[in-house]
Copies of this chain bind each other. A is one copy, B any other.
Amino acid sequence: MLKVPQHQVAGHEAGIGKLGPLVDESGRFYKPLQGDERGANEVAFYSSLSTNSGIPEHIQRFFPTFYGTQLVEASDGSGLLPHLVLEDLALGHVNPSIMDIKIGSRTWAPEASEKYIQKCLKKDRESSSLSLGFRISGLQIYRSKELGFWKPGKKAAQKLSTEEVKLVLRRFVSSNTLNDLDLRPDCAFASTVYGGSTGILSQLLELKAWFEDQTIFHLYSCSILVIFEKELALKGKNPGAHIKLIDFAHVYEGRGVIDHNFLGGLCSLIKFISDILTAPSDCRIDISAKADQKNLTADNGVVADHKSHTASDNGVVADQKNLTVSDNGVVADQKNLTTSKNGVVADQKNLTASDNVVADHKNLTVSDNGVVADQKNLTVSDNGVLADQKNLTVSDNGVVADQKKLTD
């Protein structure tokens, strides 16, 4: 019997009508295959992992075990769907404290589509990715049997300021997390979780050494999961702190170059963690940082994402009665006016004067990015362009394709 995972902190969650990962009781994690090339990419990556001779054994252990793909009943009730079958990383844990940290100041590959690049770049700039080289995609910190987990909203977590990230990374390994953020985290478990020869820092440094050399993969939008069991630490036992790399839908070939984007972000995370080990008692948060904490003050156990209104990713109310507002806030359809994503009136040739908009400028064709694509039918009187340009061919991106005629 498959069920919804108890300890998921980031990514799509399974639910009624919602597609998300599932787990079984034998310790397997079923991740729905994304239908486009992302699903295929992730399968290809996991399939190559175990046979790739470029990945040494001490690095292999940072990846979840892969058991192939399998058709299972999807969580959204849509029937049988192919799923990746992976090791359930929460298996054996009772109350795991977990952070999902997406590594890299850039979550997009140079080879990605323009649309995808713009979407990611916007998120990277709005979150802490650009400034810190990583963002916390989600986390849960165990508090007590009575209080359960502290689990801030994902959107808030992704936008933490530098001082807030410092605070959260300290709070993650502290015993005094029962109350709100004004308390100074005591970093009681810093040395047993982050420190030591087998602790988190040591594992991150192993990973770093590999990333300084490996040119096999570039991992975009990939996360490091940090897991430990606080109750074991409280009892003075080994809390089993460990890291795993997850999410490989945007893996590209390295082609002889190291993954400098992942490596830079990893080094930034390492610096934050080392600083805690160097000065665990230094939990001084200055006043400006306190003012910054507004994102996290809604400390009510689980700050759920607000779902009471329909709003798109960037806060635009997408549907106000009949008004259609596109991704970047452009009113997309004012009567018959077609406005493209970046506000360009994409097709002026079909607009007529009766709509009270641009009349047909003779045969003027305006391409998607506002370039006048074809000037050869323009005449002097209409828009002031000189007639001797009538033989010029202007290509899609505004480059005059044939400059030889100009030298005559």
Q: Which residues of A contact B (CB under 8 A)?
A: 105-106, 110, 125, 130-133, 162-163, 166, 212-213, 215, 255-258, 260-261, 263-265, 267-268, 270-271, 309, 314-317, 320-323, 325, 328-331, 334-335, 337, 339, 342-345, 356-359, 361, 369-372, 382-386, 388-389, 392, 397-400, 403, 406
Complex copy number for this chain: 2
Q: In the complex, what distance in Å separates the CA atom of A196 from the CA atom of B356? A: 75
Assuming the contacts A317-B400, A383-B334, A388-B321, asked whether A271 and B372 have C-beta atoms less than 8 A apart, the reply is no
In the complex the two chains form, is A399's CB within 8 Å of B268's CB? no
In the bound complex, residues from chain B placing their C-beta under 8 Å from that of A344 are 342-344, 370
Minimal beta-carbon separation of A393 from chain B (angstroms) = 12
Name the contact of A384 in the complex, choosing from B314, B322, B370, B383 (C-beta under 8 A): B322
In the complex, A270 Cα to B382 Cα: how many Å?
59
- A325/B398 contact (C-beta < 8 A), A110-B130, A263-B264, A344-B343 known: yes
Residues of B within 8 A of A403 (CB): 309, 317
Bound form: Cα–Cα A260–B322 in Å? 46
A197 to chain B, nearest CB (A): 20
- Decide if B261 touches A371 in the complex (CB within 8 Å): no
CB atoms of A162 and B256 under 8 A apart: yes
Closest Cβ of chain B: how far from A204's Cβ, in Å?
Answer: 12
Q: A383 → chain B, closest Cβ, in Å?
A: 4
Contact A271 B213 (CB under 8 A): yes
In Å, the complex CA distance between A399 and B386 comes to 42
Q: Which residues of B contact A271 (CB under 8 A)?
A: 212-213, 215, 257-258
12 inter-chain pairs at a CB distance below 8 angstroms, sorted by A residue, are: A105-B106, A106-B106, A257-B268, A258-B271, A260-B264, A314-B399, A315-B399, A322-B384, A328-B371, A328-B397, A329-B398, A356-B358
Contact A343 B323 (CB under 8 A): no
Q: A323 near B385 (CB under 8 angstroms)?
A: yes
- A406–B308 CA distance with the chains assembled, in angstroms: 12
Complex contacts, A370 vs chain B, CB 8 Å: 328, 330, 339, 342-344
Contact A321-B386, Cβ < 8 Å, known A212-B267, A344-B344, A399-B315: yes
- Nearest chain B residue, comparing its CB with the CB of A337: B383
